[in-house]
C-alpha cells in the first residue's frame, strides 16, 4: 500500500497530542444520555411495523430509489410525505433531502447570491457554515444570540450599499432554534421583529427542536406562532424523529428553486422508499402520540431541578431543551470524567476542542422520554462526586 502522506500524518499526530483524536465508538448497553433519540422513535416498534405494512400495502417491494429525484428516484411516496410534512408544519411546501447536512449545504450554497449578505450566529452548525463557505455571498458571524450586535452588523453593511435598488443585495439572517452544543435558544420573537424591521430573510435550523417543542413536537417556531415570519425552516429527522433525512420548509418558489439549483439534491441518489416511508410513519406517530413528548418535557424540568439541588447549576449552560451541557475545561479532564460516568453505567459523552473552543470543553447530556428520574438523579449525583 502506498505510504500515507506525511502532511496528513502530522495532522493526526497533532490531534492525538491534544488528546482530541476522534475514533468511531463501539455500541454499548449503557444508560443512554448520549443519543439524539429524544422521544425514543428510533426504537419505536409501531413506526417499524407501520412502515413495513405501508410498503407492502402499496407494493413498494424495492430496496433502493434507483436514481436521483430528478431521474427515476422520485417515487410517489415522496409527494405523500412532503404533503403531510407541509401540513403538519403549516408550511406552503416541504422538500425532502437525504440528511440535515445535505439540506443545509444545498440551501446555503445555492440560495444566497453573489454580493448578498449572510449574517449567522457564531455557534451555527458545521453544515450551515460549510454551505455558507460554498456560497458566493458575503458572510459575517455575530456573537451568540446577541441581537444588539446583529442589528449593528445590519446597520453597518446597509450603510455601505449602492443607492440603486437593482444592485441592492438580499440579507439573510441565520440561526438555530436549539443549539446542538449548548442546548439554548435564541429569542425568536425579537429576532423576527428585527428581521422585518430591516427587510431581511430569516432562516431557522430546527434540527434539535423537532419532537421536543410545541404540543405535537412541531418545533420552536410553531410553538411561538412564527411560521409565517420565516423564509426557510430546516427540519432534520435524525434527532427527535428517530429516522433519517431532512426537509426544507418554505414557499412554492423556494421549493422550485432548490429543485433546480441545490446540488446536494440534484446530484445524489434519492432516499429509498423504506427511508421515506419511515419518515411518513414517524410524523404520523408524532401527530398522534403526546405521551412521549410530555414525558421528555417532565424529564427536562426534573434535570434542571436536580442540578440546582446538587449545586451543579453554575457549571451548566442555561437550557430548557433536551441538551444539557456541563462546562469542564480541558480535553484530558472532561474525557476522564466521562470515562468515570461510563464505567458506572451511564453513556455521557465529552465534547472536546476543536469541536468546541478551547476552554469550553464539556459533558453533553442528552435527555430522553425513556430516562427515569432515578437515572437522572444518579448520573448527576455521580457528576457532583467526580467534579467536587
Give the residue with greater pLDDT, 218 vs 164: 218
Residue 168: per-residue pLDDT: 79
Position 22 in a domain: no
| Statement: the pTM of the whole predicted model exceeds 0.85 | yes
Residues 276 and 364 in one domain: no
Our count of domains for the chain comes to 2
d(CA 143, CA 171): 17
Position 33 in a domain: yes
Q: What is the mean pLDDT of the chain?
A: 95
Residues 187 and 107 in one domain: yes
Show the domain range for 339.
29-42+290-387
* Strand order across the 232-236 sheet: 93-97, 246-250, 232-236, 201-205, 171-176, 117-121, 138-142
Other beta carbons less than 10 A from residue 5's beta carbon: 9
Q: Using one digit for the tens of pLDDT, what is the confidence trace for 168-220?
A: 799 999 999 999 999 999 999 999 999 999 999 999 999 999 999 999 999 99
CATH number at residue 225: 3.40.640.10
Q: Using one digit for the tens of pLDDT, what is the confidence trace for 305-341?
A: 999 999 999 999 999 999 999 999 999 999 999 999 9
Q: Give DSSP secondary structure letters for 150-219.
A: HHHHHHHHHTTS-S-GGGPPPEEEEEESS-TTT-----HHHHHHHHHHHT-EEEEE-TTTTTTSSTTS--
Residue 290: per-residue pLDDT: 87
Residues 307 and 272 in one domain: no
Percent of the chain with pLDDT over 70: 98
Residues 138 and 262 in one domain: yes
Would the pLDDT of 163 be above 70?
no
Helix pair 331-343, 373-387: axis angle to 10 deg: 140
Residues 163 and 200 in one domain: yes
Residue 382: per-residue pLDDT: 97
CATH number at residue 360: 3.90.1150.10
Q: Using one digit for the tens of pLDDT, what is the confidence trace for 331-340?
A: 999 999 999 9
- Taking CA atoms, 385 is separated from 19, 102, 308, 329, 379, in Å, by 24, 42, 15, 17, 10
292 SS3 class: helix
Residues 341 and 199 in one domain: no
- For residue 114, what is its C-alpha cell? 453573489
Position 7 in a domain: no
Amino acid at each position: 500500500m502506498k505510504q500515507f502522506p506525511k502532511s496528513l500524518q502530522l495532522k493526526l499526530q497533532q490531534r492525538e497530542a491534544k488528546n482530541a483524536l476522534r475514533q468511531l465508538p463501539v455500541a454499548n448497553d449503557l444508560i443512554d444520555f448520549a443519543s439524539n433519540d429524544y422521544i425514543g422513535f428510533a426504537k419505536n416498534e409501531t413506526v417499524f411495523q407501520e412502515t413495513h405494512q405501508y410498503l407492502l400495502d402499496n407494493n413498494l417491494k424495492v430496496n433502493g430509489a434507483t436514481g436521483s429525484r430528478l431521474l427515476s428516484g422520485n417515487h410517489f411516496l415522496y409527494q405523500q410525505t412532503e404533503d403531510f410534512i407541509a401540513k403538519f408544519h403549516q408550511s406552503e411546501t416541504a422538500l425532502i433531502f437525504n440528511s440535515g447536512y445535505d439540506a443545509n449545504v444545498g440551501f446555503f450554497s445555492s440560495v444566497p447570491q453573489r454580493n448578498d449578505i449572510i449574517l449567522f450566529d457564531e455557534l451555527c452548525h458545521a453544515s450551515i457554515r460549510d454551505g455558507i463557505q460554498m456560497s458566493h455571498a458575503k458572510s459575517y458571524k455575530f456573537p451568540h444570540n446577541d441581537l444588539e450586535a446583529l442589528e449593528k452588523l445590519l446597520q453597518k453593511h446597509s450603510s455601505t450599499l449602492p443607492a440603486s435598488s437593482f444592485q441592492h443585495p438580499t440579507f439573510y439572517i441565520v440561526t438555530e432554534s436549539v443549539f446542538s452544543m449548548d442546548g439554548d435558544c435564541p429569542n425568536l420573537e425579537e429576532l423576527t421583529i428585527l428581521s422585518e424591521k430591516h427587510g431581511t430573510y430569516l432562516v431557522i435550523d430546527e434540527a434539535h427542536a423537532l419532537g421536543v417543542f410545541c404540543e405535537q413536537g412541531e418545533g420552536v417556531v410553531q410553538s411561538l406562532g412564527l411560521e409565517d415570519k420565516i423564509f426557510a425552516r430546516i427540519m432534520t429527522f435524525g434527532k427527535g424523529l428517530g429516522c433519517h433525512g431532512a426537509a426544507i420548509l418554505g414557499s412554492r418558489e423556494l421549493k422550485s428553486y432548490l429543485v433546480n439549483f441545490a446540488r446536494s439534491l440534484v446530484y445524489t441518489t434519492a432516499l429509498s422508499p423504506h427511508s421515506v416511508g419511515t419518515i411518513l410513519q414517524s410524523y404520523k406517530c408524532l401527530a398522534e402520540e403526546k405521551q412521549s413528548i410530555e414525558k421528555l418535557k417532565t424529564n427536562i424540568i426534573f434535570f434542571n431541578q436536580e442540578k440546582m439541588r446538587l449545586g451543579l447549576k453554575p457549571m451548566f449552560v442555561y437550557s430548557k431543551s433536551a441538551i444539557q451541557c456541563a462546562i469542564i475545561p480541558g480535553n484530558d479532564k472532561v474525557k476522564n470524567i466521562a470515562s468515570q460516568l461510563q464505567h458506572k453505567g451511564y453513556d455521557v459523552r465529552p465534547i472536546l476542542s476543536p469541536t468546541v473552543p478551547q476552554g469550553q470543553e464539556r459533558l453533553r447530556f442528552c435527555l430522553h422520554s425513556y430516562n427515569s428520574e432515578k437515572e437522572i438523579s444518579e448520573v448527576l449525583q455521580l457528576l457532583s462526586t467526580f467534579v467536587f
